Amino acid sequence: MTAPAPVDWEKLREAARDAMSRAYAPYSGYPVGVAALVDDGRMITGCNVENASYGIGLCAECGLVSQLAATGGGRLTHFTCVDGKGAALVPCGRCRQLLYEFGGPELVLETPDGLRTLDEMLPQAFGPQNLG
- Residues near ligand THU (CB under 6 A) are 25, 28, 30, 32, 48, 50, 57, 59-61, 81, 91-92, 95
Q: Which is nearer to ligand THU, 6 or 112 (CB)?
A: 112
Q: Give min distance, CB of 109 to ligand THU, in A.
A: 11
Buried b (16+ CB within 10 A) or exposed e, 14-52: bbbbebbeebebeeeeebbbbbbbbeeeeebbbbbbbee
Q: Which is nearer to ligand THU, 41 or 112 (CB)?
A: 112
Paired strand residues for 117: 108
Angle between helices 60-70 and 93-103 (to 10 degrees): 20
108: closest CA among 31, 12, 42, 30?
12
Q: Give min distance, CB of 2 to ligand THU, in A.
A: 35
The yes-or-no answer on residue 61 being catalytic is yes
Q: Give min distance, CB of 90 to ligand THU, in A.
A: 7
CB 34 within 8 A of CB 60: yes
Q: Which of 10, 14, 50, 61 is catalytic?
A: 61
Which residue type sits at 56?
Answer: I
Q: Which is nearer to ligand THU, 61 or 110 (CB)?
A: 61
Catalytic amino acids? Answer: 61
